[in-house]
Structure 1
Amino acid sequence: MKILQVNTVCGSGSVGRIATDLYQVIEQSGNECMIAYGRGSAPADIKSIKVNSKIDFYNHVLFQFVTGANGFASTKSTKKLIKEIEQFNPDIIHLHNVHGFYLNIELFFLYLKQKNKPVVWTLHDCWSFTGHCAYFDYVQCDKWKTGCHHCEQYKSAYPYGLLHDNSLFNYKKKKELFNGVQNMTIVTPSYWLKDYVAQSFLKTYPVEVIYNGIDLQQFKPVKGELTKKYSFDSKHVILGVANMWEARKGLKYFIELSHLLSEEYQIILVGLNKKQMKELPSNIVGITRTQNVNELAQLYSLSSVYVNATLEDNFPTTNLEALSCNTPVITFATGGSVESVDEECGMVVPKGDINLLKEAIELVCQHPEKYDKCIEKAKKYNKNDRFEEYMNLYRKVYEDK
């Protein structure tokens, strides 16, 4: 089989790493894979094609800011992608994030309907069935169930639209474009998202749940230079990691914790931008974003607990990475984040309850022997096992076609 994956990035960020990990499994199974991506760069050992130029990207961002219509620019990039698909001639097209200022969804989905090739679409957020937002739990909005309009987040939430709320147009066009694709199977990485899809305009498609997988050989208990640098004289280290510390990722809760916890505890946050670094309280250590897996594994390994204070999320791989490094996880009861945590490897706290979050941190740090099944739990998310589920799905849709 020849499989083409399509995503915003290749090899960076959680979804980009999922795409390249899956690429390796596809190739090792004797099949052929290529990744088409829009931004950044790809690892040298990955057969890939970058479809977007910087000019096209900036034009798309500008178009989005001015019109509020997300996914209707990047005409040149999309035509380039279609040309590459024709040349590669895949048996299956596997979509990941099709948002991210690199695709014209109208051109692209009309092409998919015309070609009638088997399509697998992994939804890593809720963007595909809303008129604007990637997530909506934060503002407790359910307009997506009947038809988006008067979006509360069009200025404040990705993908940002500064001048116009075009959520009604976006919703109607997505509903029109995304429905009617023959031989398309949707994959969700959580049962939480599967339930949302069943309530959306995508409900007619078959939906499979395949949990995200991680590389247990990369994410494992390790020591290195960072272990020495951030030892903090036997303090309990509390770690938080995000690609981008937006409001929904819960940065404010770490700020509050820094005032509530005693000096026995040290908070480290990874993924901050320069402005956030300057504004941090003096008792929080900030680290900018890193794509170095070994550095991340060291940080997870030296931590007493990984805290995921996210207020809306699908199925965060950071939970899995922490568990694989033998670090217990505490998460708010948010989306699919709770699906990877149980009483043997961490705790689930009611969303937004800072006092219970503090108590959970103290309990886990003071009684680590109660949470000794982290690595065992992480084995459930071995990428080779999880991605074999994708191989089985590929075989099924290929044979059905």
Structure 2
Amino acid sequence: MRVLQINSVCGIGSTGRIATDIQTILVKHGHESYIGYGRNNPGNNENVIRIGTSIDNYLHVAKTRITDKHGFGSKRATKKFLNRVSELNPDIIHLHNIHGYYLNIELLFEYLKKNKKPVIWTLHDCWPFTGHCTYFDYSGCECWDINGEHKCIQKKSYPSSYLFNNSKNNYARKKEAFTGVNNLIIVTPSEWLAKLAKKTFLSEYPIKVINNGIDLEKFRPMESNFREKYSLQEKFIILGVASEWTTRKGYGYFLDLSNNLSSDQVLVMIGLNNTQIKSLPGNIVGLKRTNNLKELAEIYSTSDVYINPTLEDNFPTTNIEALACGTPVITFKTGGSYESIDEKSGYIIENKSINELIHAIKKVQENGKKSYQSYCIDRAKAFYNKEDRFMDYIDLYQKFR
């Protein structure tokens, strides 16, 4: 079986690692695997196909910033890539994030309809069925509502437009492009996103839930000198990790928490930019984003609790990475973030309350991390081993051929 995956990145970030992890399992079981990707370095991964060039990316960015026509640039790059796909002749085409300044979605789906290849499409956010934004619940945007006006109120959110708001037209063009594919199955990592997708024009397709999985050889309890390096030996470490810290990711909650810490507590945030790091209060240790999984696992392991005050998310891999390292998780009951947590592995905050968040942190500190540790590790092993979760994809490929 020959499988082609398509994603904005390869080997980095949560979706890039999902694609390469699936590729590893495919090859392990004797199948052929290729990944088409849009930008950044693919690392040492084999059988990868770059879609376009950096110049193509920049032109697509410019088109998005000015006209709000994200996904409708990169025509030359997409045509060239689709010629390569025809030569490759895959048995299955597996789409991940098709946004990200690298693909022309109309040309891609025209090709899929014409060639009638079996298609798996994993939705990692809501962008495929909105007029612009990737998430909308927390802001109250209704540009996804099938019966609505489809005008986005978040045009400056990713993929941001500085001038025009083209969301109504974007929605109509997406609906036209994304419907009517003969052999397509939608996969979502969370029950939350599956329920949303069933309320959109994508409801014409079968929708299946496959949770994200992680590498339990890399994410496991580890020793490190992290506490010594940052002089945190006697501190209760409250950790947060994001690829980019925004309002939606809960950045403001960390700043609020910093005003409510006791002297033996400290916040550690990974994924900050330089401007954010410079403006942090003294009781927050701020670090830039890292793609070093060993370093990340060491920080999860030495932390006492992981908090994810996201206002909306799909199925954050950071939650299950923390669990696998034996660290309890506290998250809001938003999106699919809470689906990976139970009463033995952390706390779910119902109403996005800073006071309830503080209370949950105190509960973990009072009980001690060790009272949660084994439950967290067992839960990760039982439900989120990448070998198991991504074999679900292999099984789906084989049934769908």
Shared fold (TM-score greater than 0.5)? Answer: yes
Question: What SS does the corresponding residue of 2:320 show, helix, strand or coil?
Answer: helix
- Residue aligning to 2:136: 136
Distance in 1 between the 2:282 and 2:388 partners?
43
2:154 alignment partner AA:
Q
Q: Is the 8 A contact 1:148 1:167 kept in 2?
A: no
Question: What SS does the corresponding residue of 1:49 show, helix, strand or coil?
Answer: strand
**Partner residue of 2:377 out of 367, 375, 381:** 375
Q: Is the 8 A contact 2:141 2:154 kept in 1?
A: no
| Segment of structure 1 superposing worse, 206-215 or 77-86 | 77-86
| Segment of structure 1 superposing worse, 179-188 or 72-81 | 72-81
Q: Deviations over 1:17-73 (max 9, x none)?
A: 111111100110110100000000112232101112111111101111111111100
1:240 alignment partner AA:
G
- Residue aligning to 2:316: 316
Distance in 2 between the 1:221 and 1:32 partners?
33
Corresponding position: 1:301 with 2:301:
yes
- Residue aligning to 2:348: 348
- Residue aligning to 2:20: 20
Q: Is the 8 A contact 2:131 2:143 kept in 1?
A: no
Distance in 2 between the 1:347 and 1:357 partners?
9
TM-score, normalising length from structure 2? Answer: 0.97
Instruction: Report deviation, 1:263.
Output: 1.1
Instruction: Report deviation, 1:370.
Output: 4.2
Q: Is the 8 A contact 2:94 2:121 kept in 1?
A: yes
Q: Is the 8 A contact 2:8 2:37 kept in 1?
A: yes
Distance in 2 between the 1:163 and 1:4 partners?
36
Unaligned runs of 5+ in 2: none
Instruction: Report deviation, 1:376.
Output: 0.5
Corresponding position: 1:152 with 2:153:
yes
| Segment of structure 1 superposing worse, 297-306 or 71-80 | 71-80
Number of paired residues? 397
Distance in 2 between the 1:351 and 1:140 partners?
16
Q: Is the 8 A contact 1:179 1:202 kept in 2?
A: yes
Write the mapping of 1:1-400 to structure 2, written as runs, cut at 5 A: 1-145=1-145, 146-155=147-156, 157-230=157-230, 232-368=232-368, 369-372=370-373, 373-379=375-381, 380-398=383-401
Instruction: Report deviation, 1:142.
Output: 3.2
| Segment of structure 1 superposing worse, 82-91 or 29-38 | 82-91
Distance in 2 between the 1:343 and 1:382 partners?
20
Q: Deviations over 1:299-321 (max 9, x none)?
A: 00000000001101000000000
Distance in 1 between the 2:43 and 2:208 partners?
29
Instruction: Report deviation, 1:231.
Output: 5.7
Instruction: Report deviation, 1:229.
Output: 1.6
Q: Deviations over 1:137-157 (max 9, x none)?
A: 1212334122443321012x1
CA RMSD of aligned residues (A): 1.1
Q: Is the 8 A contact 2:93 2:117 kept in 1?
A: yes
Q: Deviations over 1:117-138 (max 9, x none)?
A: 0000000000000110100012
Distance in 1 between the 2:222 and 2:384 partners?
19
Q: Is the 8 A contact 1:226 1:295 kept in 2?
A: no
Distance in 1 between the 2:219 and 2:133 partners?
31
Q: Deviations over 1:278-301 (max 9, x none)?
A: 111111000001000000000000
Q: Is the 8 A contact 1:240 1:269 kept in 2?
A: yes
Q: Deviations over 1:225-268 (max 9, x none)?
A: 43532461221100000001111001110111011010111100
Distance in 1 between the 2:225 and 2:364 partners?
26
Q: Is the 8 A contact 2:66 2:164 kept in 1?
A: yes
Distance in 1 between the 2:244 and 2:185 partners?
30
2:332 alignment partner AA:
F
Q: Is the 8 A contact 2:5 2:19 kept in 1?
A: yes
Percent sequence identity is 52
Instruction: Report deviation, 1:377.
Output: 0.6
| Segment of structure 1 superposing worse, 316-325 or 276-285 | 276-285
TM-score, normalising length from structure 1? Answer: 0.97
Q: Is the 8 A contact 1:231 1:302 kept in 2?
A: no
Distance in 1 between the 2:43 and 2:58 partners?
23
Q: Is the 8 A contact 1:130 1:148 kept in 2?
A: no
Specify whether residues 29 and 75 from structure 1 end up closer, same or farther in structure 2 by C-alpha distance, changes over 3 A only: same
Q: Is the 8 A contact 2:72 2:105 kept in 1?
A: yes
Q: Is the 8 A contact 1:11 1:20 kept in 2?
A: yes
